[in-house]
Amino acid sequence: MGQIRILPEEIASKIAAGEVIQRPESVVKELIENSIDAGAKNITVILKDAGKTLVQVIDDGCGMSEDDAVLAFERHATSKIRTYEDLENIQTLGFRGEALASIAAVSKVEMKTRTPEDELATLVKIEGGKLIEVSKTSHPPGTSIAVKNLFFNTPARRNFLKSNYTEFKHAYEAFIRFAIAYPDISFELISDDEPISKFEATDFETRIKQIFGDEFFETLIPVSEKTEYISIYGFISKPEFSKKTKADQFVFLNRRYIINRSINHAVYNAYEHLLEKGNFPSFILMISINPRHVDVNVHPSKLEVKFDDEQGIYNFVRAVVKHSLAKFNLIPEVEIEPTGEIKLRPSSNLIEKPTQQKQQFSLDLLTSTFPEAIIGTRVEKDIKKIEKISKEIQSEISQTVDKTDTSTEGISFMQIHNKYIIAQIKTGIMIIDQHVAHERILYERALDSLNSNTPFTQQLLFPQTIELTPADMAIVKELKDYLEALGFDLRIFGKNTVILYGVPPEVKQGSEKTILQEIIELYKENSNVEPNLSARENLAKAFACKTAIKAGNKLTLEEIQVLIDQLFLTRNPYVCPHGRPIIIKISIEELDKRFGRT
């Protein structure tokens, strides 16, 4: 007998389901697509345990007859295409006929559906791909599909699901993408019996405000261009409101959310030198093109697409974005300071950010103290190591100027480009990155504070109110105890509002609201890059990075000395929490070699 066999249908269906249904987010996406294709005007999504226990989508679409309701769970059963020609002219979100069959293969599904012409609805129950019941019931016109106990029959797959916060974040992001693309449809999200988001049907501009808020909308520039081949409309962010992460970047093709690196790069490239290094713009772009010029049947997830003219699409998007930026006169102007220093600044015609105080880092920030018990314990514990390091460093450092010059007497270090600190040592020169050095100091302080749970808080004269997205609010709730241990005094008010009463002393005055939001953003980014990172360590890393001295901050000689002293009191003064080097040493031998003295 041969070795090759045809797999049983039960196993084959579970394998196929793995391509389409990867987590609760996949279920949310596929069911909402079906609701939209059914002509729904009101869609409600209900989650329990972030979708692990229940994902339910209720709509008021066209509904199905009993025969169609049963047939819909068969693999490759669809009402959306009939011939190969239809595949080249797809007008709907779904078309493969795999979603319901894949969902039913790995969960317990209960569907109620009714057409406007029928008096009674059809109830269909399926468990693990097996039809359990078909009966009549009461239900308003439309369809309700409840997906329970996802991956109940594939425990290995269920074990790979992440925390409730992570799974909810993915499901929420899928929900938001549909809400953006279909402002003419009302959407509602309920999680664990708590209303999370509700968006009434409206126009595109108002929907953006509903989701992201008026403040975010004020940072956007409209984009619009229409040709016979392709059209585009939407919004891009003003350069001065760019971010350190690629959050809030959305591309929709014929109202289908897609991931396309070429289009993203075209947008980024259009900004050219208007963005600070390491920053990324926000954008929401709606692209329309004849379906015959694009292939959406690349992957079962339907997130990837191929254009018949990739370069043409790239050039079009880049040109339109560049034109929109030019209309708002965003080209930087050259400004010559009285000192002769040349600076680039945005055009005066820009709507500027609210005036912020110039960043200043005083000795109070560098030497801000935590409770004496913590410092005392650490110093007593590491006193021998500290003394040894201090003696070694002091013996290495030599004066770089003549001490008879009273204006610079006692200088051991020099700051260059407001970024690096250079010191002459006996064996060469030592270069220190001021940002990562301060980051290491604050990281170890944060860990000590989290471990001892003895916060030190600087109370605000006027409490700050911060509006968060539901996903970010879920993080705040999860980390509330840790944030308070760091020194944040906050209260949760309502569904998505946080009131900030106090902050750690490291937080610069005037940046309290921004720092907390940036810490949350970096916490999310770290979670994606290092999924096994503990919440405590992740938060300490994010806090240290966002509150540390930045490149470009000028320090006094006294501040530099304090920074170096505190650096060599840390447990690991040579590498930052993210693995970057803090200190680089160039030997005198290497310098001699470079200058041909060897």
Query: CATH number for the domain including 468?
Result: 3.30.1370.100
Task: Give the CATH number, domain containing residue 13.
Answer: 3.30.565.10
Report yes or no: 442 and 547 within 8 Å, Cβ to Cβ.
yes
Q: On the CB side of 77, how many CA atoms lie within 13 Å of its CA? A: 12
Query: What pLDDT, on a 0 to 100 scale, did the predictor assign at position 255?
Result: 93
pLDDT tier for residue 299 given thresholds of 50, 70 and 90: low
Q: For 334-346, what is the mean pLDDT?
A: 44
Over residues 237-294, the pLDDT tens digits come to: 988 888 888 889 999 999 999 989 999 999 998 887 677 778 899 999 999 998 888 8
Q: Is residue 60, in this structure, part of any structural domain at all?
A: yes
Q: Is 435 exposed, middle or buried (0-12, 13-18, 19+ CB in 10 A)?
A: buried
Report yes or no: 26 and 20 within 8 Å, Cβ to Cβ.
yes
Q: Are residues 321 and 433 in the same domain?
A: no
Q: Is residue 357, in this structure, part of any structural domain at all?
A: no
pLDDT tier for residue 195 given thresholds of 50, 70 and 90: very high
Q: Are residues 256 and 159 in the same domain?
A: no
Name the residue among 517, 520, 507 with its Cα closest to residue 459. 507
Q: Are residues 43 and 170 in the same domain?
A: yes
Neighbour order of strands in the sheet with 458-467:
458-467, 497-503, 489-493
Query: What pLDDT, on a 0 to 100 scale, did the predictor assign at position 586?
Result: 82
Q: Are residues 77 and 164 in the same domain?
A: yes
Give the length of the chain: 598
Q: Are residues 287 and 426 in the same domain?
A: no
Token pair in block for residue 486: 């760091």
pLDDT tier for residue 37 given thresholds of 50, 70 and 90: very high
Q: How far apart are CA 93 and CA 19, in angstroms?
A: 17
Last residue within a domain, chosen from 311, 327, 343: 327
Most confident of 325-329, 354-358, 442-446: 442-446
Q: Is residue 3, in this structure, part of any structural domain at all?
A: no
pTM: 0.65
Q: Is residue 365, in this structure, part of any structural domain at all?
A: no
The mean predicted confidence, pLDDT, of the chain is: 81
Q: Is 331 exposed, middle or buried (0-12, 13-18, 19+ CB in 10 A)?
A: middle
Q: How far apart are CA 491 and CA 294, in angstroms?
A: 49
Q: How far apart are CA 399 and CA 423, in angstroms?
A: 9
Query: What pLDDT, on a 0 to 100 scale, did the predictor assign at position 86?
Result: 56
Q: Are residues 224 and 177 in the same domain?
A: no
Q: Are residues 174 and 274 in the same domain?
A: no
Name the residue among 202, 41, 19 with its Cα closest to residue 30. 19
Q: Are residues 258 and 143 in the same domain?
A: no
Q: Is the pLDDT of residue 41 over 60?
A: yes
Q: Is residue 56, in this structure, part of any structural domain at all?
A: yes
Q: Is the pLDDT of residue 383 over 60?
A: no
Q: For 338-345, what is the mean pLDDT?
A: 45
Q: Is residue 360, in this structure, part of any structural domain at all?
A: no
Q: Is residue 158, in this structure, part of any structural domain at all?
A: yes
Token pair in block for residue 509: 């005055």
3-state secondary structure (DSSP) of residue 341? coil
Q: Which range marks the domain in which residue 243 is found?
A: 213-327
Q: Provide the number of structural domains found in the chain.
A: 3
Q: How far apart are CA 90 and CA 203, in angstroms?
A: 25
Query: What pLDDT, on a 0 to 100 scale, did the predictor assign at position 288?
Result: 94
Over residues 149-176, the pLDDT tens digits come to: 999 998 888 888 999 999 999 999 999 9
Report yes or no: 252 and 180 within 8 Å, Cβ to Cβ.
yes
Q: Is the pLDDT of residue 379 over 80?
A: no
Last residue within a domain, chosen from 202, 233, 258: 202
Q: Are residues 197 and 222 in the same domain?
A: no
Q: Are residues 109 and 257 in the same domain?
A: no
Place of tokens 């019996």: 193
65 Rama class: left (phi>0) / alpha (psi -120 to 50) / beta: beta
Q: Are residues 180 and 217 in the same domain?
A: no
Q: Is residue 227, in this structure, part of any structural domain at all?
A: yes
Over residues 451-501, the pLDDT tens digits come to: 888 788 889 988 999 999 898 999 999 999 999 999 999 999 888 899 999
Last residue within a domain, chosen from 266, 296, 327: 327
Q: Are residues 466 and 548 in the same domain?
A: yes
Nearest 5°: the CA angle 109, 111, 115 is 165
